[in-house]
Amino acid sequence: MDKISIPPEWVFSPQPMYIIGTKNEDGTPNFCIITWLGFSFDGGPHLMMTVGGTKLTKTNILREKKFSANMITEDNLWLADYFGNTNGEEGEKNAVPYSYKQGKLVDVPVLNECHWAYECEVTRVIELSGAHLFLAAIRNIQIDKKYADMNMKKIDLSSIQPVIYAPYNYFSIKEKLGEMGEWKRHL
């Protein structure tokens, strides 16, 4: 396979998408899309998230040290797109209907429209050039009751239908390709 080099830019960074829920100073909810998100371990499961620029979400997290991360799936994509294309600093995002509840263990807004949500408390903040990296302990995971019987050691993403973001485009996961350890059957 011949390869060429390209400059390191945002050209290809496919990532899962999450609607981040925070509380404004007046207690109202604020939701926005963040795609620079991954998972780590620091004495327990953690979520790592980078938020760049000036965003009400970042201001709220720096103040409150907590947030929810609501997985974006095919059936709530356009609500997420709305949150990602409106500015919370210009007022409450309420032009489209949605509903939320407070987290069960962390006092953060959790979207009812999302099937999988993490309630997180920030344990470390690393200031970067123009961004902040948040390391947050996952205190609780809320999942839709329809996933109660799912094998949590082999989560079936094709049934959850998460949306993947690659700059300025949304993609779905349509089918399971196999399981870990099946390489002998395929090579």
Q: pLDDT tens digits for 42-73?
A: 999 999 999 998 899 999 999 999 999 999 99
Q: 154 pLDDT band (50/70/90 cuts)? A: confident
pLDDT per residue over 4-34, tens digit each? 988 887 666 788 899 999 999 999 999 999 9
* Average pLDDT across the chain, whole number: 91
* pLDDT at position 124 over 70: yes
Q: 88 pLDDT band (50/70/90 cuts)? A: low
Q: What is the pLDDT of residue 10?
A: 63
What average pLDDT does the segment 69-80 reach?
Answer: 94
What average pLDDT does the segment 82-93 reach?
Answer: 76
Domains in the chain: boundaries = 15-186
What average pLDDT does the segment 139-155 reach?
Answer: 91
Q: 157 pLDDT band (50/70/90 cuts)? A: confident
Q: What is the pLDDT of residue 30?
A: 94
Q: How far is CA 51 from the centre of its chain?
A: 12
Note the CATH number of domain 15-186.
Answer: 2.30.110.10
